[in-house]
């Protein structure tokens, strides 16, 4: 067998710079083969023109090209179940250690346990690192070691720890000389993995000083579209969370920083309470007798509820894979409270459509609007989809863009009257919770 090598396994960290696990692998004593696995357990559930798969594939090709042209190396790309790929890899190489960055979602943690067990049985080390968050798991907890289930105290302790932390950027490229010298590592096209190029594009993020400075003033108005679009890039790790936090600090923008902390708050909730992926955090909310009318759900999905701001959000989502955060709260509340449809239906639809879908944040926010999660809105908080227009789209700019037919005779009548829906919701929730 050939000389020993180490493997670095890219997952939710698709960048060559400031990548902790990659940095640690490159500093090890053996040459490093970088790999990525298109996991069929995940791919098989996705539409064939999924924009996120296109984005991942394009990102990987750019990384391959950089490594080939500059460092006479490459990135090996595989498809299949990770355990099967590793069985093949240890047949082909004398693998000493597999390095990777930690992923905290329930499926990922189970997958990694299986991989670790298999590698260990073959005397191969499996080393994992914290990279996609500033703080993880048990790093921000109460004095008794229990997790915070309310954002405000979590945020306070998070900030205290952050001030005291040794905060550094990892210059990965300094150690690229330890990459394996092989520019012809396996590659796969989109069609090889059974996908086609999506017409939707994941847009570049925007974190200029101006965007960050104006974030507080503009973030609630969907027509301005002044959000950073960081979501997908944090999700897939095409940007370093440490560098983003650095920018937030440089601009002294509390609101922008708060959004990054919320992300970690929800991630630690899912880590400590993995049942919340499909069960309510507050279990009594699973007693609610949802109407779950499929025709109503279809109208909501298509943006044909007769409420222009709700419809604008859903049509934006369907067309672009993005929805403004303020509008997400409204469409979520409308589904759960006005239509009495289970939050899990909405969560699954967002999982399919959103470019920035991240399980922890998506579940956390859906349970927030349903009233069933940690730090949730009280169940009697029911957004009025008409008065929300006055607050956030007074000039109807957002509505005119996405629902140009809102004043036409063909535009549907409201599928349920607000006052009636509100009373029905309160009665349903009360009977379940009391």
Per-residue pLDDT of the chain (434 residues; tens, 9 = 90+): 579 999 999 999 999 999 999 999 999 999 999 999 999 999 999 999 999 999 999 999 999 999 999 999 999 999 999 999 999 999 999 999 999 999 999 999 999 999 999 999 999 999 999 999 999 999 999 999 999 999 999 999 999 999 888 778 999 999 999 999 999 999 999 999 999 999 999 988 776 666 656 655 555 667 676 567 788 999 999 999 999 888 877 777 777 788 889 999 999 999 999 999 999 999 999 999 999 999 999 999 999 999 999 999 999 999 999 998 889 999 999 999 999 999 999 999 999 999 999 999 999 999 999 999 998 778 888 999 999 999 999 999 999 999 999 999 999 999 999 999 999 999 999 999 98
10 to 34, 228, 238, 335, 417: CA distances (angstroms): 7, 25, 11, 37, 50
Fold of the 133-166+203-272 domain:
1.25.40
Beta bridge partners of 8: 34, 99
Rounded to whole angstroms, the Cα distance separating 213 from 190 reads 39
Angle between helices 241-250 and 209-218 (to 10 degrees): 80
How buried is residue 306: exposed, middle or buried, by Cβ count under 10 Å (0-12/13-18/19+)? middle
Looking up tokens 């190396």 gives 73
What token pair was written down for 148? 């915070």
Closest CA to 179 of 90, 76, 103: 76
Rounded CA gap, 47 and 43, in Å? 8
3-state secondary structure (DSSP) of residue 191: helix
C-alpha to C-alpha distance for 182 and 167, rounded to whole angstroms: 34
Residue identified by tokens 């009548």 is 413
Q: What is the pLDDT of residue 15?
A: 97
Whether 106 and 141 have beta carbons less than 8 Å apart is answered as: no
Distance from C-alpha of 86 to C-alpha of 97, rounded to nearest angstrom: 12
Element spanning 424, H or E: helix 418-433
- Residue 144's pLDDT is 95
Report angle CA 73, 179, 175 to the nearest 5 degrees: 125
The fold of the 277-433 domain, in CATH, is DNA Cyclobutane Dipyrimidine Photolyase, subunit A; domain 3 (1.10.579)
- Give ranges for CATH 3.40.50.620 in the chain: 1-130
Count of alpha carbons within 13 angstroms of residue 243, beta-carbon side: 17
Biggest alpha carbon distance in the chain? 74
Report how far residue 128's alpha carbon sits from residue 25's, in angstroms, rounded to the nearest whole number.
10
**Cα separations (Å) of 425 from 151, 201, 206?**
26, 38, 39
Runs of H (alpha helix) within 273-417: 294-302, 308-320, 325-333, 343-353, 359-370, 387-392, 397-402
CATH 1.25.40.80 domain span(s) along the chain: 133-166+203-272
Q: Where are the alpha helices (DSSP H) in 176-292?
A: 209-218, 231-236, 241-250, 254-272
DSSP 8-state code for residue 179:
B
**Residue 212: per-residue pLDDT:** 59
Rounded Cα distance between 302 and 399, Å, is 15
**Range(s) within the chain of domains with CATH label 1.10.579.10:** 277-433
- Say which DSSP state 153 is in: H
| In this structure, CATH architecture of domain 1-130 | 3-Layer(aba) Sandwich (3.40)
| Residue 4 burial (CB count, 10 A) | 13
Residue 300 backbone phi and psi in degrees, to 5: -60, -45
């Amino acid at each position: 067998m050939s000389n020993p090598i180490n493997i670095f396994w890219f997952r939710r960290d698709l960048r060559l710079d400031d990548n902790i696990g990659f940095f640690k692998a490159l500093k090890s004593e053996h040459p490093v083969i970088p790999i990525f696995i298109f996991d069929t357990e995940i791919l098989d559930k996705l539409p064939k023109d999924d924009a996120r798969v296109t984005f991942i594939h394009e990102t990987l090709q750019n990384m391959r090209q950089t490594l080939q042209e500059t460092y006479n190396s490459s990135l090996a790309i595989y498809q299949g179940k990770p355990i099967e790929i590793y069985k093949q890899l240890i047949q082909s190489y004398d693998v000493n250690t597999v390095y990777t960055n930690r992923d905290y979602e329930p499926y990922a943690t189970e997958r990694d346990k299986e991989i670790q067990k298999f590698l260990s049985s073959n005397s191969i080390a499996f080393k994992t690192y914290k990279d996609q968050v500033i703080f993880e798991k048990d790093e921000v907890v109460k004095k008794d070691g229990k997790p915070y289930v309310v954002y405000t105290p979590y945020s306070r302790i998070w900030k205290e720890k952050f001030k005291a932390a040794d905060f550094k950027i990892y210059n990965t490229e300094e150690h690229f000389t330890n990459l394996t010298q092989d520019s012809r590592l396996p590659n796969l096209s989109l069609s090889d993995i059974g996908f086609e190029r999506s017409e939707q594009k994941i847009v570049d993020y925007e974190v200029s000083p101006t965007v960050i400075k104006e974030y507080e003033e503009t973030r609630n108005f969907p027509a301005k579209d002044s959000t950073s679009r960081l979501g997908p890039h944090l999700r897939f790790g095409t940007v370093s969370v440490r560098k983003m936090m650095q920018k937030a600090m440089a601009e002294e923008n509390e609101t922008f920083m708060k959004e990054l902390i919320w992300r970690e708050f929800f991630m630690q909730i899912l880590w400590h309470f993995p049942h919340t992926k499909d069960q309510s955090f507050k279990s009594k909310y699973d007693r609610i007798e949802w109407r779950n009318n499929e025709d109503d759900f279809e109208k909501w999905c298509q943006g044909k509820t007769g409420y222009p701001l709700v419809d604008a959000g859903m049509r934006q989502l369907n067309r672009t894979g993005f929805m403004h955060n303020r509008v997400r709260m409204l469409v979520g509340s409308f589904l759960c409270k006005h239509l009495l449809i289970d939050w899990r239906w909405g969560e699954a639809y967002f999982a399919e459509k959103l470019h920035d879908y991240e399980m922890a944040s998506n579940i956390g926010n859906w349970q927030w609007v349903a009233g069933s999660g940690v730090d949730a809105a009280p169940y009697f908080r029911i957004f009025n989809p008409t008065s929300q227009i006055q607050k956030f789209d007074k000039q109807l700019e957002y509505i005119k863009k996405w629902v140009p037919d809102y004043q036409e005779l063909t535009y549907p009548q409201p599928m349920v009257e607000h006052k009636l829906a509100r009373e029905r919701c309160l009665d349903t929730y009360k009977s379940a919770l009391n």
